[in-house]
Structure 1
């Protein structure tokens, strides 16, 4: 019932709090024999970690991963893989002013109502800090998928607030802090973020994730549909308020003659379905789009209540991402990889994939 585990055959259990001694996860179900060391995981964590530019939180966490179990002589053993990431730069005093109040738009109120207690330090369990173990687990999934099935999972930011970012090239994404596939728009994005920071406010973003070379047949009918599991995983990412598979909500204005992807001897002509039909992969790219809400911790003073139900004014100081979407791309990639590996293993067990 605690619901801290994602997956069936490839299972990831996440633990820790934002300002606790450490965060981490247990990855169970990874097949034996996969060459794996900390550097394979660290490369992905470095893409997500805080403090990498002036546009994200300045909390300085190295996010150095430690492999505690499940790997022997450089290869996975088929037993649970324990991954640990120590918190080294928590500043809990920054949250003393909001320990008795609730930030509008944040999970403070909901956690308190559910458990009758909450950890206010950095958001506790509801903090985006807990996405680091997800990225670590996703690094294992990405490596296994690439080596065993040539699957490549990549993502990019397609919109920052009101600014749409036209896709130009995958090669441009590592060259900027926004994971934007368009170098010509970076100066505009930076100017917008600088203005946002001066205002003490935040903004949302749109993230696109694409998995290429996915074999047809992954997924199940009805309740364990591939697209349903992808949506489930993505909605588990902090601040996600919307998930689209393929054309998504764009299908509302399409006619059937336009939406249905025609099939030729050479393959599909279009990919409105996002690589999934009837909950099962078609062999096309699996495409997912995420809507990320604005960060709830902002300096702008807003109305709220305290634990006694009394009206208060809330202003959040400390170190926060003005746009959590800036660092969301590696997390979304990790989640898609975890779901795809889980379904690849399930398919192998049923159909010998």
Structure 2
């Protein structure tokens, strides 16, 4: 399958640079897969499309302030470090810039020496393993020295770092936000629950590989980066009960979807599980875990637009994207939302 089949024209001015003041005031495009109809609403209206007995599934991962700026101990040369995955004994997989300047044994100093790192392994594509040294609690040091790892297409500074977190973010570990969840407020979630819709939580720590454009011409040749997920027994039992009672499982975001589809693929049902997933969903993959999907508008030629095309259809999704451009929807992380039912 040619990657160009998932391309579309996107004016740069439609890439949202800052979040809206009110999270839930974004636009909502509602797609009906069977009728292939498109409706335009406000995100606050999402509750009108959820029914008593349905279950909204949210990814409760929390984004780390994972971008660090330091200098080489020997030369003072500037180095940017982006945390990806935590290993053992304070060792992390990271991306570094400029990569060629960070060799095995290179030491990097952050702040006034509150945090130091030593390169312990060279990996591909600018990847490194580093071991951190510090006093106190690592996450507290990171909160002081780190910055939010906003995607490269966002050029504006974020005045409030909590706006790149969902209101229900809890489990520290992501290098990027599960952006479909950014539209929810605590008030809207309460209204949804009061209407008889259940809320369920799982965790998938989002890595940068999820959001990178595919660099190969043939979609089948693309390799996904693995990401850690966890689904509790409580949530698994909740989702089984919802399905048994005829309710719908509504997934908030592609990260939630990938977690649920990984579990359904591996076990054939909702089951407590944790581990690493590199599932790559694209047509003609048949999604089995979800009945509806809330998602943002994604990059051209990305794995995310392929996933939503597997849930609906490529032609219908690309029609919806063309409509979104015509109607001046805002795209990507701080952009507007789509509900596919």
TM-score grouping bracket, smaller chain normalisation: under 0.3
TM-score when normalising by structure 2: 0.26
Question: As a proportion of its length, which structure holds more helix?
Answer: 1
